[in-house]
Chains A and B, each alone.
Chain A
Amino acid sequence: MLTTHFPTRDPDPVQLLDPSGHRVTHPDYALDLSPEEYRALYRDLVRIRRVDAEATTLQRQGELGLWASLLGQEAAQIGAGRALRPQDFVFSSYREHGIAWCRGVPPIDLLGFWRGTAHGSWDPYRAGMANYQVVVGGHALHGVGYGMGLRLDGADGAVLVCFGDGATSQGDVHEAFTYAAVFDAPVVFYCQNNHWAISEPLTRQTRVPLYRRAFGYGFPGIRVDGNDVLATLAVTDAALEHARSGSGPVLIEAVTYRMAPHTTSDDATRYRSPDEVAEWAARDPIARLRACLEREALADDAFFADVAAEAERLAVQLRTECRSLPDPRPTALFDHVYAGPHPLIDTERAQLTAFLDQFTDRSTDRFTDRFTDRFTDRPEGPGSWS
């Protein structure tokens, strides 16, 4: 149950589907889904994994500058994402592709950021989700402020603030906990504990399970099996409802694992063992749900084949769209820095335009080779930068 009482012992993470795919019950979290709903969750999981894999490939081929894979965290994200309602709002970090997917952000809009065509490609108000946050923990207070606004407006809605285990060390996140608590902000803090912050293990961020942080601030904390999509859905649903109904914030710790390196430029073999990775591979969130669907005869072979084919089509489409994402025009530099005209910006825009005119081939109105070799002249070197 959602309680503010400090637990006398750590309960097991909430689970509704065990690792072999058996439905299990939990006294506090019932989940009654129709067969269609089960299948829809499965379809989400497979599709977002395929999108993620395609993005990794696109990065390898030089189409993206970088990609942060969600591999292994699909259930943590799809469960939470499908618990959201239209009136809710999300603030997330850079790895929440599954949440964005559930908010209806077209996959191509995830890629502009990583390709370097835009800092944020989707409209936060249309999606009900702010653009990705790169500064670890930087968005936690934004979520609380948004929640305070919802309260002041007397609006029905809650905020989901997503961050990682590493982020829980940031001062901003602790401030967010305090603000949310004292203002009863309708905020669900959703921490995906994927056990790593780049090369640093969880033990470098905390001595106790992360969900326990909540009790010190005076709100409920709950730990859920992050590789169980039914459990993440049920727990997030309850937490959002708790927040929407005016009972204040909740912290959810979704226990999961980052199966891929931190980003495409990381080399995870430098700091973690293949055994650990293999151990988590055995708890794969998609295999788990599939086993359940098969056992309970909720889906047949035709369904699985169909989902796979559909994911493949999605990947092909994403690849095409990515390759044809246009580069912004040079003077886009000056767009949106201020609400209106600004003398310095206006002067610099005029200077750049005059300067570029020298390089423009009038017959084609295209720039000469000055701006064509973007990804070919990058310095080469080892690194795992974020």
Chain B
Amino acid sequence: MELTLAKALNSGLRKALESDRKVVLLGEDVGRLGGVFRITDGLHKDFGGDRVIDTPLAESGIVGTAIGLAFRGYRPVCEIQFDGFVYPAYDQIVAQLAKIRARTAGRVAMPVVVRIPFGGGIGAVEHHSESPEAYFAHTAGLRVVCCARPSDAYWMIQQAVACDDPVIFFEPKRRYWDKGEVDPGAGAPLPLHAAEVVRPGTDLTLVGYGPTVRVCLDAADAAAEEGRRLEVIDLRSLSPLDTATVRDSVARTGRLITVHEAPGYLGMAAEIGSRITEECFYSLQAPALRVTGYDTPYPPSRLEDVYLPDLERVMDCVEQSLSY
């Protein structure tokens, strides 16, 4: 069936709540309102206020109590309302959630999911458009994933809930209303941490995740008109990284560009570029390049089109890569 990404997440969460009574949702406005993006729409009504919990307005509290619930055998799914509001919970995530398995020598599992709508492009005010994924991917003990399309949203959220480690789950908020085919009968097509080649090509590998997968696909279309065949990989998992899929692709194409909205400095593209350079140096015909947000605070919305990697900037970079 055809679903929006938002509805696919909603259906995935419903499935998770149905299949395990230890699954609880926590967050601000996730109850009667159904979340500001309606990702939890209808769940409070159907599962009740003990399982779909409107929390007091405190993110540290959301994640901190989720940790306690996990200690007690629950599988909490936290909603952080917007990317820029995860920081009050940052301490609980990086100093506690990430470390409890190691601290307890494996005796205590932390099957906690922290959902974060992220990225820009919606014309919002400050703190509503950020891409903080690198902070989390840099932290051992956390798994970090990012869905880009409805089918992945539906399956990945269920896989994240089923995972016995903490999962930071990034949702591309400007793609919430994109539609795509979801087949709930089929079973998850891929493991949670696999990357996927979403468009095969021969001349260059474009790697994106979340909101930039669409940008990469558009670039591949545009390049096709000029006779260039670009391969597009949807990374899906930021930690761990499916380097094998990227390496196999770059071994064939010889060129790599990673595209993300987060600032470039120490971002995901830096990690991918470095690993690919280590692992398939002799296949590379150009340096690993990147198109990213600038290393500035996310700007006021009237400037976000300048800030965000878009078709033109990706094409510019494609040209640069091909010129080697």
Chain A residues in the interface with B (C-beta under 8 A): 65-66, 94, 112-119, 134-137, 166-167, 169-172, 197-200, 204-205, 270-271, 327-328, 330, 332-334, 337, 344-345, 348, 352, 355, 358-359, 370-371, 374-375, 378-386
Residue contact A337 to B57, C-beta cutoff 8 Å: no
Give chain B residues whose Cβ lies under 8 Å from the Cβ of A114: 125
Give chain B residues whose Cβ lies under 8 Å from the Cβ of A135: 84-85, 87-88, 127
Chain B residues in the interface with A (C-beta under 8 A): 4, 6, 28-29, 31-34, 36-38, 54-58, 60-61, 81-82, 84-85, 87-88, 121-128, 174-178, 265, 294-297, 299-307, 312-313, 316
Residue contact B58 to A383, C-beta cutoff 8 Å: no
Give chain B residues whose Cβ lies under 8 Å from the Cβ of A204: 54-56
Partner of A383, one of B37, B57, B265, B307: B37
Give chain A residues whose Cβ lies under 8 Å from the Cβ of B297: 119, 337
* Chain A residue at minimum C-beta to C-beta distance from B177: A381
Give chain B residues whose Cβ lies under 8 Å from the Cβ of A384: 29, 33, 36
**B12 to nearest A CB, angstroms?**
18
Residue contact B32 to A270, C-beta cutoff 8 Å: yes
Residue contact A167 to B6, C-beta cutoff 8 Å: no
Residue contact B37 to A333, C-beta cutoff 8 Å: no
CA–CA, A197 to B265, complex, Å? 36
Give chain A residues whose Cβ lies under 8 Å from the Cβ of B55: 204
Residue contact B294 to A136, C-beta cutoff 8 Å: no
Residue contact B54 to A330, C-beta cutoff 8 Å: no
Residue contact A328 to B32, C-beta cutoff 8 Å: no
Residue contact B29 to A200, C-beta cutoff 8 Å: yes
Residue contact B301 to A381, C-beta cutoff 8 Å: no
Residue contact A379 to B57, C-beta cutoff 8 Å: no
Partner of A169, one of B29, B33, B38, B56: B56
> SS class of chain A's interface: helix, strand, loop or mixed?
loop
CA–CA, A166 to B178, complex, Å? 32
* Chain B residue at minimum C-beta to C-beta distance from A359: B312
Residue contact B57 to A328, C-beta cutoff 8 Å: no
Residue contact A328 to B36, C-beta cutoff 8 Å: no
Known: A169-B61, A200-B28, A370-B312. A345 touches B56 (CB 8 A): no
Residue contact A169 to B58, C-beta cutoff 8 Å: yes
Give chain B residues whose Cβ lies under 8 Å from the Cβ of A333: 294, 296, 299, 303, 306-307
Partner of B36, one of A171, A355, A385: A385
Residue contact B57 to A115, C-beta cutoff 8 Å: no
* Chain B residue at minimum C-beta to C-beta distance from A348: B294
* Chain B residue at minimum C-beta to C-beta distance from A335: B296
Among B38, B55, B57, the most chain A Cβ lie within 10 Å of the Cβ of: B57
Give chain B residues whose Cβ lies under 8 Å from the Cβ of A344: 265, 295
Give chain B residues whose Cβ lies under 8 Å from the Cβ of A116: 123, 125, 300-304
Give chain A residues whose Cβ lies under 8 Å from the Cβ of B54: 199-200, 204
CA–CA, A123 to B125, complex, Å? 19
A119-B297, A199-B31, A374-B302 known; 5 other A-B pairs, CB under 8 Å? A66-B123, A199-B32, A200-B54, A328-B300, A385-B81
Known: A116-B300, A170-B58, A337-B297. A371 touches B306 (CB 8 A): yes
Residue contact A332 to B303, C-beta cutoff 8 Å: yes
Among A137, A167, A198, the most chain B Cβ lie within 10 Å of the Cβ of: A198
Give chain A residues whose Cβ lies under 8 Å from the Cβ of B33: 198-199, 270-271, 384
Residue contact B302 to A117, C-beta cutoff 8 Å: yes
